Amino acid sequence: MKSSPVWNSPVRVAGGRGNRFAGLLVVSGLLLAVGCGKSSEYPLVPVTGTVTQNGSPLAGVNVMFMPESGEGAPSGGLTDESGKFSLQYNNGQKGAVLGPHRVVISVPAEEVPPPTAGQPPARPTKPAPEYFKTATVKDGENDFAFEVMQR
């Protein structure tokens, strides 16, 4: 059987110095990218809380903390079945930057029934409500309770 001209070429498929160097560059770049994504130039502290409406927990609610100073990025979280949330910074780390924040609480829109045959999809009768609050994130424990009113 004759060998293919591709296998006789001077380019090595694996194991050559060029491939080792290229692999080292790729791995170094990935480690650098991952490392850069895991730290924040601003100190982060853990932030948790609960969102309720008329004393009952609200599930599936987006909670966003936006620093009023403009320094640092927003942190966000989603409430679970018990209305509890834990904030995560934009790089995946838990927490939020220190200082005063504008808090935006976005409640999902009401569910609408699926369309029937030949009918256009129904639209929610009410827009998804948003509530605006304030909170100050301090060094140490930050556990907030937000009560939203029914609109």
Residue-wise pLDDT tens digits, 43-81: 999 999 999 999 999 999 999 999 999 899 999 999 999
* Helix-then-strand count for the chain, H and E: 1, 11
Strand duo 143-148 + 48-53: pairing? parallel
Among 139, 141, 54, 142, which residue's Cα sits nearest to residue 103?
142
Q: Which residue in 139, 131, 145, 136 sits closest to 48, CA to CA? A: 145
CATH 2.60.40.10 assigned to 44-148:
yes
**Count of other CB atoms within 10 angstroms of residue 139:** 8
- What share of the chain has pLDDT > 70, as a percent? 69
More confident residue, 145 or 36: 145
Tokens of 40: 């924040």
pLDDT at 106: 92
> pTM of the entire structure?
0.65
Q: Quick check: 99 and 137 in contact, CB under 8 A? A: yes
Average pLDDT of the chain is: 77
